[in-house]
C-alpha cells in the first residue's frame, strides 16, 4: 500500500538544478521567502540554473548547516492559514558551504563564474550603520579587523569583497549583491558597506565595485516566527518529526525589487515578484505601517504580560492604540504607492497581525529596539514634526519602549534582556525616571530630535503617567482623546 505524505515535495527534478546564487544567512525568513519563490519557479520548469548554495559567517550558522545537510538541504515550510495549515518541502537549495573563521569556502564559491547573485539576510543590525548618521560606520571594530586582513575576512561584506577582488583579477564579471533584509534602501546600504570597507584597504577596488557591481533595492515581507517546540511538534504532525529546523509562516508574502541585475536573474516575475523602479515607495509603506505597527503593539503588550501578538490584537486598548496612531500619525505621512490604497493595506495588516495560527510573540516584536526604533518609528516622528504636528501617539510608543527597558512589567514580572544593548538601555531607562530627557539624549537613536522641547515635555508626561497609573490607564486616556 502506498502512503501519501501529509506534506508536498518539490514538483521538479532537483538533479537538474545548477547553482547560480550564494545566499548568506539561512535563517527562517530566507527559507520562508526567497527560497519559496525559487521553489515555485523551479516547479514551472523555469530558471533551473539559479539554485541556491547556502552560507553563513557566524558560529550558529554551522548548526543550521548540519541540520540542513542531514536532510539533503530540504526545508520544511508550514503555512499557517487560519482556514487550514499546509506543509511543503522546499528544494531550492542544493548545498551549504562549510562555515570557517576566514570564510575561505564562501569566498571560493562566490568567485566561481556560475554564481551571478550573492544575496543576504544578516538582520537589520548587521550592516554596520551608525544609527546617529544613518551612514556606514568605517570605525566599527569588525570592519577595521577585515580592513587589516582583507584575505581572511570575518564579515559577510569582507567575504563578498574578497570574492569580487578574485573575480576582477580573473577577468570574471562581477555578481549582483542583493540584500533581502528589512531596512530602508537595503541595496544602497549594502553598497555603502562593501565600498566603504574596500576604501579602507584598496581604494582602486572600491572604485571598481562602485562602477561594476549592482546592488538592487528590494522590499520583502512575510511574518515568520522563530522556531521552537511548538513548531517542531507541528512539523511532526505532518510526518516530519526528524526535522529540527522547520519554518512556520503566514500565507501572505510579498517581494518588490529593482530590476538591476547586469549578470542576469531568475524570471521571478512569473511567481509573483514585482519588479519596479518605485521600490522606495513600497518600502516606506511597509516599514512605516507594518514594522512601525509591530513596534506600536509590542511594548504595551510586553508591559501588560501578553504573550502572543494575536492576543495583543484582541485587546481593545492595544488595538485602539494601533488604529489611532496608524490612521492619524503614520498613514497620512506615507508617500503614495502605485496602485495601492494605504488604508486598505493597513486593514490587511491588521488581519495578518490577528492570525492566531502564527503564534508570533510579543517578546519577538520587542527584540532589538535599539536597532529597530531608528528605522521604524523615529522617522515617522521626525516627519510629523517637520509638518508642524506633534505625534503624541508615536511619542507614547517611545515612552512605552523606555518603560519596557526598565526591566519589569506593570505586574512586577522581570523582563529578561531583549536587546544587544540591554545593559545600556536599562540603565538609561532607570535614569530617565528622574530625568526623562536622558532617554531622548541617546543621539545614536533619536538624533537631534531628542532635544526638541515639545518632544521632551510630551515624552516626560507619558513616562511619568505610565509609572504612576500603568499602561492600561494611559492607553485608555490616549484613545479617548
State which of 277, 310, 331 marks the end of a domain.
277
pLDDT at 6: 85
- Domain membership of residue 387 (yes or no) is yes
pLDDT at 299: 98
The rounded distance, in Å, linking the Cα atoms of 249 and 360 is 9
Question: Of 478, 471, 319, 474, whose CA–CA distance to 410 is shortest?
Answer: 471
Residue 336: how many other CB atoms lie within 10 Å: 12
Q: Are residues 32 and 163 in the same domain?
A: yes
The rounded distance, in Å, linking the Cα atoms of 270 and 346 is 26
Q: How many domains does the chain have?
A: 2
pLDDT at 442: 96
State which of 277, 301, 324 marks the end of a domain.
277
pLDDT tens digit string along 428-478?
Answer: 999 999 999 999 999 989 999 999 999 999 999 999 999 999 999 999 999
- Domain membership of residue 398 (yes or no) is yes
pLDDT tens digit string along 161-185?
Answer: 999 999 999 999 999 999 999 888 9
Query: Alpha-carbon Rg of the chain, whole angstroms?
Result: 23
Q: Are residues 457 and 411 in the same domain?
A: yes
**Domain harbouring 462, CATH code:** 1.10.1040.10
Q: Are residues 223 and 287 in the same domain?
A: no
253 φ/ψ sector (left φ>0, alpha ψ -120 to 50, else beta): beta
The rounded distance, in Å, linking the Cα atoms of 141 and 17 is 39
Q: Are residues 224 and 314 in the same domain?
A: no
pLDDT at 182: 87
- Domain membership of residue 1 (yes or no) is no
Does the structure show a pLDDT above 70 at 2?
Answer: no
Percent of the chain whose pLDDT exceeds 70: 99
Mapping DSSP to helix (H, G, I), strand (E, B) and coil, where does residue 449 land?
helix
- Domain membership of residue 8 (yes or no) is no
Does the structure show a pLDDT above 60 at 28?
Answer: yes
Q: Are residues 255 and 353 in the same domain?
A: no
Q: Are residues 333 and 359 in the same domain?
A: yes
Residue 1 pLDDT grade (very low, low, confident, very high; cuts 50, 70, 90): very low
Q: Are residues 244 and 307 in the same domain?
A: no
Side-chain half-sphere CA neighbours of 263 within 13 A = 23
Q: Are residues 296 and 233 in the same domain?
A: no
State which of 277, 299, 327 marks the end of a domain.
277
Does the structure show a pLDDT above 80 at 131?
Answer: no
Residue 5 pLDDT grade (very low, low, confident, very high; cuts 50, 70, 90): low
Does the structure show a pLDDT above 80 at 351?
Answer: yes
> What value does the mean pLDDT take over residues 11-21?
97
How remote is the C-alpha of 156 from its chain's centroid? Answer: 16
> 389: buried, middle or exposed (CB in 10 Å: 19+, 13-18, 0-12)?
middle
> What value does the mean pLDDT take over residues 334-348?
95
Contacts 24+ apart (CB under 8 A), 266-275: 266/20, 266/38, 266/41, 266/46, 266/47, 266/50, 267/41, 267/46, 267/47, 268/37, 268/38, 268/41, 268/47, 270/41, 270/44, 270/46, 271/37, 271/40, 271/41, 271/44, 272/37, 272/40, 273/37
Q: In terms of residue numbers, what domain contains 127? A: 14-277
Does the structure show a pLDDT above 60 at 3?
Answer: no
pLDDT tens digit string along 250-266?
Answer: 999 999 999 999 999 99
Q: Are residues 256 and 289 in the same domain?
A: no
pLDDT tens digit string along 380-433?
Answer: 999 999 999 999 999 999 999 999 999 999 999 999 999 999 999 999 999 999
pLDDT at 481: 79
Mapping DSSP to helix (H, G, I), strand (E, B) and coil, where does residue 469 land?
helix
Does the structure show a pLDDT above 70 at 38?
Answer: yes
**Domain harbouring 119, CATH code:** 3.40.50.720
Q: Are residues 208 and 287 in the same domain?
A: no
Q: Are residues 223 and 339 in the same domain?
A: no
Amino acid at each position: 500500500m502506498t502512503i501519501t505524505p501529509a506534506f508536498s515535495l518539490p514538483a521538479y527534478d532537483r538533479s537538474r538544478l545548477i547553482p547560480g546564487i550564494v545566499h548568506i544567512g539561512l535563517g527562517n525568513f530566507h527559507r520562508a521567502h526567497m527560497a519559496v519563490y525559487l521553489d515555485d519557479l523551479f516547479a514551472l520548469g523555469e530558471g533551473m540554473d539559479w539554485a541556491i548554495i547556502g552560507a553563513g559567517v557566524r558560529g550558529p550558522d554551522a548548526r543550521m548547516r548540519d541540520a540542513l545537510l542531514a536532510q539533503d538541504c530540504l526545508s520544511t515550510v508550514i503555512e499557517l492559514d487560519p482556514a487550514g495549515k499546509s506543509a511543503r518541502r522546499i528544494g531550492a537549495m542544493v548545498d551549504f558551504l562549510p562555515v570557517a573563521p576566514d570564510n575561505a569556502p564562501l569566498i571560493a564559491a562566490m568567485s566561481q563564474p556560475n554564481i551571478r547573485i550573492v544575496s543576504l539576510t544578516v538582520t537589520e543590525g548587521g550592516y554596520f550603520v551608525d544609527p546617529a548618521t544613518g551612514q556606514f560606520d568605517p570605525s566599527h571594530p569588525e570592519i577595521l579587523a577585515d580592513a587589516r586582513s582583507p584575505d581572511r575576512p570575518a564579515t559577510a561584506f569582507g567575504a563578498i569583497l574578497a570574492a569580487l577582488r578574485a573575480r576582477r583579477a580573473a577577468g570574471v564579471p562581477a555578481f549582483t549583491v542583493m540584500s533581502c533584509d528589512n531596512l530602508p534602501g537595503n541595496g544602497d546600504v549594502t553598497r555603502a558597506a562593501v565600498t566603504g570597507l574596500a576604501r579602507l584597504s584598496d581604494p582602486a577596488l572600491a572604485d571598481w565595485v562602485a562602477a561594476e557591481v549592482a546592488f538592487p533595492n528590494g522590499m520583502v515581507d512575510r511574518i515568520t516566527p522563530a522556531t521552537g517546540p511548538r513548531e517542531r511538534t507541528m512539523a511532526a504532525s505532518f510526518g516530519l518529526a526528524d526535522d529540527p529546523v522547520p519554518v512556520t509562516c503566514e500565507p501572505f508574502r510579498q517581494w518588490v525589487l529593482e530590476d538591476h541585475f547586469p549578470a542576469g536573474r531568475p524570471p521571478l516575475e512569473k511567481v509573483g515578484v514585482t519588479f519596479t523602479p518605485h521600490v522606495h515607495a513600497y518600502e516606506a509603506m511597509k516599514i512605516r505601517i507594518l514594522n512601525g505597527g509591530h513596534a506600536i503593539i509590542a511594548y504595551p503588550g510586553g508591559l501588560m504580560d501578553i504573550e502572543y501578538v494575536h492576543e495583543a490584537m484582541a485587546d481593545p486598548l492595544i488595538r485602539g492604540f494601533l488604529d489611532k496612531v496608524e490612521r492619524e500619525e503614520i498613514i497620512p505621512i506615507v508617500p503614495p504607492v502605485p496602485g495601492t490604497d494605504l488604508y486598505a493595506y493597513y486593514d490587511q495588516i491588521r488581519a495578518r497581525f490577528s492570525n492566531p495560527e502564527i503564534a508570533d510573540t510579543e517578546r519577538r516584536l520587542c527584540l532589538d529596539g535599539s536597532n529597530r526604533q531608528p528605522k521604524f518609528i523615529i522617522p515617522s516622528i521626525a516627519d510629523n514634526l517637520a509638518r508642524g504636528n506633534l505625534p503624541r501617539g508615536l511619542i507614547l510608543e517611545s515612552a512605552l519602549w523606555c518603560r519596557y527597558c526598565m526591566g519589569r512589567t506593570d505586574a512586577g514580572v522581570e523582563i529578561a534582556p531583549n536587546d544587544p544593548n540591554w545593559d545600556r538601555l536599562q540603565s538609561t531607562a532607570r535614569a530617565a525616571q528622574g530625568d526623562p530627557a536622558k532617554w531622548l539624549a541617546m543621539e545614536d537613536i533619536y538624533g537631534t530630535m531628542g532635544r526638541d522641547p515639545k518632544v521632551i515635555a510630551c515624552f516626560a508626561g507619558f513616562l511619568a503617567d505610565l509609572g504612576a497609573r500603568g499602561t492600561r490607564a494611559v492607553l485608555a486616556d490616549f484613545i479617548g482623546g
